[in-house]
A = this chain, B = another copy of it.
Amino acid sequence: MSSRLVMKFGGTSVADLERIRRVGRLVAAEVRAGHKVAVVVSAMSGKTNELVAWTDQAGPAADGLPPSDDEYDVVVASGEQVTAGLLAMTLRNMGVPARSWLGWQIPIISDDAHGRARIDDIPAEALGAAVDSGQVAVIAGFQGVTSDGRITTLGRGGSDTSAVAVAAALKAIRCDIYTDVDGVYTTDPRIEERARRIPKISYEEMLEMASLGAKVLQTRSVELAMAQHVPVRVLSSFVEPGEADPANTGTIVCDEEEIVEKRIVSGVAYSRDEARITLLGLPDHPGVSKAIFSRLADAGVNVDMIVQSRSRNAEIANMDFTVGRRDAARAVELMNALKDELGFEEVRLDEAVAKVSVIGIGMRSHVGVAQSMFTALADKGVNIQAISTSEIKISVLIDAAYTELAVRALHGAYGLDQV
| A interface residue count range (under 10 / 10 to 19 / 20 to 34 / 35 or more) | 35 or more
Q: Is the CB of A92 within 8 A of B17?
A: no
27 contacts between A and B (CB under 8 A): A20-B58, A54-B82, A54-B86, A58-B86, A58-B93, A60-B93, A62-B93, A62-B94, A62-B95, A68-B88, A68-B93, A71-B86, A71-B88, A71-B89, A71-B99, A71-B100, A72-B85, A73-B85, A74-B81, A75-B82, A75-B86, A78-B78, A78-B79, A78-B81, A78-B85, A81-B81, A105-B149
This protein's copies in its complex:
2
Task: Return the CB mask of A61-74 against B: 1 if under 8 Å, else 0.
Answer: 11111101011111
Interface residues of chain A: helix, strand, loop or mixed (majority): helix
Nearest-CB distance from A281 to chain B (Å)?
49
Within 8 A of B (CB), among A15-58: 17, 20, 51, 54-55, 57-58
Known: A62-B95, A94-B62. A17 touches B89 (CB 8 A): no
Give bound CA distance, A94 to B57, whole Å: 13
Q: Is the CB of B72 within 8 A of A89?
A: yes
Q: Does A104 contact B (CB under 8 A)?
A: yes
Give bound CA distance, A86 to B59, whole Å: 9
Q: Does A102 contact B (CB under 8 A)?
A: yes
Most buried by B among A59, A73, A85, A102: A85
Known: A51-B82, A99-B70. A92 touches B62 (CB 8 A): yes
Q: Does A362 contact B (CB under 8 A)?
A: no
Give bound CA distance, A93 to B72, whole Å: 13
